[in-house]
Amino acid sequence: MMLRYFAAVGLFFLVPGLLYGQQKVSLEEVIELALETNYDVRLARTDAESASTDAEYVVGAFLPTVGVTASTTWNNNNQELRFEDASRNNSGKAQSNNTTASAQLNWTLFDGTRMFATRERIAVIEEQGHTLVKNQMVNTIALVINNYYDIVRQKQQLRAIVEQMSVSEERVKLAERKLEVGTGIKPELLQARVDYNAQRTQAIQQESTIAQLKAQLNELVGLQLPEQFDVADTILIDLNLDRTELIDNLENTNFTLVAARQNVHIANLSLRERRAEFLPFLNFNASYTYSQTDNTRLINPFAPVYNKSNGYNYGLTLNFPLLNGFNTRRLTQQARIEVSRQSLLYDQLRTGINVDIRNAYVNYDNARKILLIEEENINLAKENVSIALEGFKRGVTTFIELRTAQQSLEEAYTRLITARYNTKVAETELLRLSGRLLR
């Protein structure tokens, strides 16, 4: 009866948002929105798109380069010609028009297999781009899950406060009755009211916390959620995750490790490209040229009035670098060092992630055990408050005993809700590290 009265009156002042029909969004809907609109995911996709564009045009490394040039020139010059035979001397204005055009082809037939290593390196970079997108998606999903269930946790905490307020309100009324009939004391009534008002303050603060967490969740999805929305009421937890299944094949399921291994592959391909520079380069060259000169006005009697030529030529060029200041050797050594560096980074990362997932499973297992204890403990605390309240009504239980029982229930609720959330966070971290949040 008292709880229904509080729901009708007290909640109107404390949690008015709950009275209005807010659109409820599920975790699956929020995750779907986040994968579409989250800025970090979208930025990762643009990087992957850039790598895919490079891969799309990598075939150009195997094709020849072709260029065409054309020009026309008008000449108008004053000339003076002097010969040993003075009678042949001449001077005046010379005018001509010269037109040229040419097409050149250069095709690298062999470059020490460098072009093949380049093609493979760009393909691996494209693959790595998709891997990094998946890694960002996994991290974003983990953030969404933790944020979403943090809201659920705070909602459960608010409900626990509301339930405690109903007990406190009952204490206030019992203290008032006792004071009226002369069996109570005023400090008892005042303390009951102080406790009740403190819980009202907690409820308001809890509403503020929920609003802030909702804003954070909306930020993760690019503000695509409704201005007013609600979430689920319960935290769904998988209590049967298997340690062996999570750790097995971790190197192929953890996207951070996959990307690091791809960095090692990319470094090896860069080394192949550098080594290719020690080998000769064989190029096929061909060109077609056209030239026409029209001397419209001549001073030199030996110059042709009109000259035209066209034709093509082709051949092979072999370029064998012998010495370039040891620059090729230096770059090759740097590439070899980069391979070693990327290998070390991969081993370091693999060790760290293996430790992280084992620690995460320990946290998950402990949180699971604590949750089972707190699930049992809450029932004991509820029963204890119920007995203390009935005893207080009959005058068997003292005010201090009732308050102690009530505080124990408050603490039990807080521990239980925290245990549920911590177990869910531990579960999410295990799934994130194993790359299973996308499955």
To which residue do tokens 């203390």 refer? 388
Task: Give the model's pLDDT for residue 256.
Answer: 92
Asked whether the beta carbons of 115 and 276 are under 8 A apart, the reply is: no
On whether both 215 and 85 belong to a single domain, the answer is no
* Whether the predicted pLDDT of 295 surpasses 80: no
On whether both 383 and 372 belong to a single domain, the answer is yes
Asked whether the beta carbons of 229 and 25 are under 8 A apart, the reply is: yes
Per-residue pLDDT band at 24 (split at 50, 70, 90)? confident
On whether both 172 and 314 belong to a single domain, the answer is no
* Whether the predicted pLDDT of 254 surpasses 50: yes
Q: Burial letters for 62-96: b for 16+ Cβ neighbours within 10 Å, e otherwise? A: eeeeeeeeeeeeeeeeeeeeeeeeeeeeeeeebeb
**Domain-located, residue 124:** yes
On whether both 184 and 308 belong to a single domain, the answer is no
CA distance 315 to 307: 26
Task: Give the model's pLDDT for residue 399.
Answer: 65
On whether both 363 and 251 belong to a single domain, the answer is yes
Which of 258-272, 308-322, 407-421 is predicted most confidently? 258-272
Asked whether the beta carbons of 204 and 15 are under 8 A apart, the reply is: no
Q: Per the structure block, which two tokens stand in for 418?
A: 């925290």
| Count of domains forming the chain | 2
Compute and round to an integer the Cα radius of gyration of the chain: 41
Picking from 319, 339, 372, the residue at the C-terminal end of a domain is 319
**Domain-located, residue 43:** no
Task: Give the model's pLDDT for residue 241.
Answer: 86
> Which are the contacts of 143, defined by CB distance < 8 A and separation ≥ 6?
220
Task: Give the model's pLDDT for residue 7.
Answer: 37
Asked whether the beta carbons of 21 and 211 are under 8 A apart, the reply is: no
Task: Give the model's pLDDT for residue 297.
Answer: 65
On whether both 409 and 287 belong to a single domain, the answer is no
> Which are the contacts of 361, defined by CB distance < 8 A and separation ≥ 6?
241, 243, 246, 247, 430
* Whether the predicted pLDDT of 84 surpasses 70: no
pLDDT mean over 254-276: 92
On whether both 219 and 302 belong to a single domain, the answer is no
Per-residue pLDDT band at 1 (split at 50, 70, 90)? very low
**Domain-located, residue 31:** yes
Task: Give the model's pLDDT for residue 10.
Answer: 42
Domain that holds residue 83: 65-109+282-319
* Whether the predicted pLDDT of 2 surpasses 60: no
**Domain-located, residue 59:** no
Mean pLDDT in the chain?
Answer: 82
**Domain-located, residue 99:** yes
pLDDT mean over 240-253: 86
* Whether the predicted pLDDT of 6 surpasses 50: no
We report the CATH number of the domain holding residue 77 as 2.20.200
pLDDT mean over 282-305: 79
On whether both 103 and 203 belong to a single domain, the answer is no
**Domain-located, residue 51:** no
* Whether the predicted pLDDT of 9 surpasses 50: no
Per-residue pLDDT band at 429 (split at 50, 70, 90)? very high
Task: Give the model's pLDDT for residue 183.
Answer: 64
* Whether the predicted pLDDT of 96 surpasses 90: no
User: Which residue from 337, 321, 318 is spatially nearest to 276, judged by alpha carbons?
Assistant: 321
Between residues 83 and 203, the one the model is more confident about? 203
We report the CATH number of the domain holding residue 396 as 1.20.1600.10
Percentage of residues in the chain with pLDDT exceeding 70? 86
Per-residue pLDDT band at 299 (split at 50, 70, 90)? low
* Whether the predicted pLDDT of 23 surpasses 90: no
Task: Give the model's pLDDT for residue 349.
Answer: 92
pLDDT mean over 414-422: 89
Q: pLDDT tens digits, residue range 108-144?
A: 888 888 888 888 898 898 898 899 988 889 998 999 9
Identity of the residue numbered 366: N
Per-residue pLDDT band at 265 (split at 50, 70, 90)? very high
On whether both 98 and 82 belong to a single domain, the answer is yes
Q: pLDDT tens digits, residue range 166-186?
A: 777 777 777 777 676 766 677
Picking from 293, 319, 345, the residue at the C-terminal end of a domain is 319
Q: Out of 28-42, 293-307, 401-415, which region has the weakest mean confidence (pLDDT)?
A: 293-307
On whether both 161 and 286 belong to a single domain, the answer is no
pLDDT mean over 43-68: 83
pLDDT mean over 403-424: 83
On whether both 158 and 297 belong to a single domain, the answer is no
On whether both 162 and 227 belong to a single domain, the answer is yes
* Whether the predicted pLDDT of 66 surpasses 70: yes
pLDDT mean over 13-28: 62
* Whether the predicted pLDDT of 260 surpasses 50: yes
Task: Give the model's pLDDT for residue 11.
Answer: 41
**Domain-located, residue 141:** yes
